[in-house]
Amino acid sequence: MPSYLLRSAIAALACAAAGAFAQQSPITISGAWVRATVPGQGGTGAFMTLQSPQALELVGASTPVAGVTQVHEMKLEGNTMRMQHLSALALPAHQSVTLTPGGNHIMLMDLKQPLAAGSTIPITLQLKDAAGAAITQTLQVPVLQQPPAGAAPAAAHGHHGS
């Protein structure tokens, strides 16, 4: 094989490898934590700050410690806060999106065991890019009683009306 073809093939492989690496780390995650549970508790939340260099959507999550894992939002309906499943949460390019207690979060339901403070669990985030391509990113998340120092505060819930 002529050397210029070999150099071209090596360059193509390097670009492909760089592209594959980018697909494995599409977002930056900070302050991730899961709220610890007590025996018999069926669900808990996962919280974190997400930032992506490109526009993405968080379309789901999974973890082996829960039977059901969903992206949820808290929404004020009248004077009542309600939690509901989101089919997708927009992650605008170069903007931080924070998942907090009382705000948007990842809900872990049908827990298979109590989650003890001090342990760590895997959570796989399911994302889609603007073209609809599926991307996953798995992280190891600490289980804590309280948010870590520096974590975003819980969403404020004002009481409207008199």
Domain membership of residue 120 (yes or no) is: yes
Domain coverage including residue 84: 27-144
Tally of domains within the chain: 1
Which pTM was predicted? 0.77
Q: Are 140 and 97 in contact (CB under 8 A)?
A: no
- For residue 107, the tally of other CB atoms under 10 A from its CB is 17
Residue 122 pairs with which residues in a beta bridge?
140
pLDDT of 20 reads 38
User: What residues of the chain score a pLDDT lower than 70?
Assistant: 1-25, 151-162
pLDDT digits (tens, 9 = 90+) for 41-75: 999 999 999 999 999 999 999 999 999 999 998 88
Q: Confirm whether 125 is domain-assigned.
A: yes
Round to whole Å and give the CA distance between 71 and 117. 22
What whole-number distance in Å separates Cα of residue 45 and Cα of residue 57?
A: 19
Q: Is 14 contained in some domain? A: no
Residue 55 lies in a domain: yes
Please, which residues have CB within 8 angstroms of residue 62's CB and are 6 or more apart in sequence? 69, 123, 124, 126
Looking at the domain assignment, is residue 133 inside a domain? yes
In a domain, 5, yes or no: no
Is residue 150 in some structural domain? no
Give domain status of residue 149, yes or no.
no
**CATH classification at residue 49:** 2.60.40.1890
DSSP class of residue 40 equals T
Identify whether the C-beta of residue 69 lies closer than 8 Å to the C-beta of residue 136: no
